[in-house]
Each structure stands twice: as structure tokens, then as C-alpha cells.
């Protein structure tokens, strides 16, 4: 499968893409725990059907030492016993923020309050940015059918 658009060769995309990549790097450097970042990015990418992002975040998380069990169970995190309460709160916020159109009320106060129990203001800010960023990147990749499978851990860092 070939991508509909080569982001790295297109001048129009290139003007914005450098800023998009910089935003991604700043989120990576945020105080939100790296394992939480990868689990959230992976779950959002699964929901949105972004194969290239599922590929990337699975490989990056594994390279950083994340267990195969936790990576394999992220799609069923509610029933899995391998996540902390803080990770569960982050995944709940990520799902609510990703499924905005499906949830008439958007992100509910209960979901927000649960996240606020586990993360300070800077971490929640980073989580909100991550959820928004991943949804944007997923859409860019899904629309242009970016192929998955060839990503190498750390390739874009």
C-alpha cells in the first residue's frame, strides 16, 4: 500500500509538519509519565484506526521496556488488571476526548475529576494536549492512508 501523500516530500505539508513535529516533541518532554503517554497514544490510535500510529507507539513503548501484556491489553484496559488507577484515569480521559462525537456531553465531569485525582495541573494539561495531538495526527494519517509496519523505534524523535 502506498500513501496518498508523502508528507516529507510535499512543500505545503512541510511548512506545517515541522511545527507539528515540534509540538509532539514538547508533549514527549512534558511531566506526564512516558509509559502513560505511550499507552494513551496507542489507545487513541486504536480507536481511530491509525495503523501507522499503532505501529509506532507499540514499538516505541516496547523499546522503552513496556511489557507485551500491557501493550496487548490496552484495547481492553477496563477489564485488565495490569494498569494503575492513574493509567486507567488517563485512558478514560483519552477515550472520552477521542469519542467526543459519540458522547453527547463530551468529556464528563466524572472522567475529568478522576484524572485530576491522579495528575497535577501540568500533567493534565499535557494529557489534554496529547489527546488532541494524537487525534489530529491520526486523522492526517488515516486520510492519506499512511502504511504501517516499517517504523523503527525512535525514528521521529
* Predicted pLDDT of residue 157: 67
Which CATH number characterizes residue 110's domain?
Answer: 1.20.1290.10
CA distances from 150 to 4, 56, 65, 115, 134 (A): 17, 9, 20, 34, 20
Residue in 94, 27, 42, 115 with CA at minimum distance from that of residue 72: 42
The verdict on residue 47 lying in a domain is yes
Whether the CA torsion 22, 137, 76, 114 is positive or negative: it is positive
* Predicted pLDDT of residue 115: 98
The verdict on residue 152 lying in a domain is no
* Predicted pLDDT of residue 45: 98
DSSP H or E stretch at residue 103:
none
The verdict on residue 83 lying in a domain is yes
The verdict on residue 84 lying in a domain is yes
The verdict on residue 115 lying in a domain is yes
The verdict on residue 60 lying in a domain is yes
The verdict on residue 50 lying in a domain is yes
- CB-CB contact of 149 with 1 (8 Å): no
- Cell numbers 522503552 label which residue? 64
The verdict on residue 30 lying in a domain is yes
Quote the CA–CA distance of 81 and 52 in Å, as a whole number: 27
Give the chain's domain count: 1
Domain that holds residue 41: 11-143
146 three-state secondary structure: coil
Q: Which stretches of the chain score pLDDT less than 50? A: none
Amino acid at each position: 500500500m502506498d500513501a496518498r501523500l508523502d508528507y516529507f516530500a510535499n512543500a505545503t505539508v512541510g511548512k506545517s509538519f515541522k511545527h507539528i513535529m515540534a509540538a509532539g516533541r514538547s508533549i514527549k518532554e512534558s511531566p506526564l509519565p512516558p509509559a502513560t503517554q505511550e499507552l494513551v497514544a496507542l489507545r487513541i490510535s486504536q480507536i481511530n484506526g491509525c495503523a501507522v500510529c499503532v505501529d509506532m507507539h507499540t514499538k516505541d513503548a516496547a523499546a522503552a521496556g513496556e511489557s507485551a501484556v500491557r501493550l496487548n491489553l490496552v484495547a481492553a484496559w477496563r477489564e485488565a488488571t495490569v494498569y494503575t488507577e492513574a493509567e486507567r484515569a488517563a485512558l478514560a480521559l483519552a477515550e472520552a476526548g477521542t469519542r467526543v462525537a459519540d458522547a453527547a456531553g463530551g468529556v464528563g465531569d466524572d472522567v475529568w475529576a478522576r484524572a485530576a485525582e491522579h495528575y497535577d495541573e501540568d500533567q493534565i494539561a499535557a494529557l489534554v494536549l496529547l489527546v488532541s495531538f494524537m487525534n489530529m495526527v491520526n486523522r492526517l494519517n488515516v486520510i492519506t492512508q499512511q502504511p504501517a509496519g516499517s517504523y523503527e523505534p525512535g525514528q521521529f524523535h
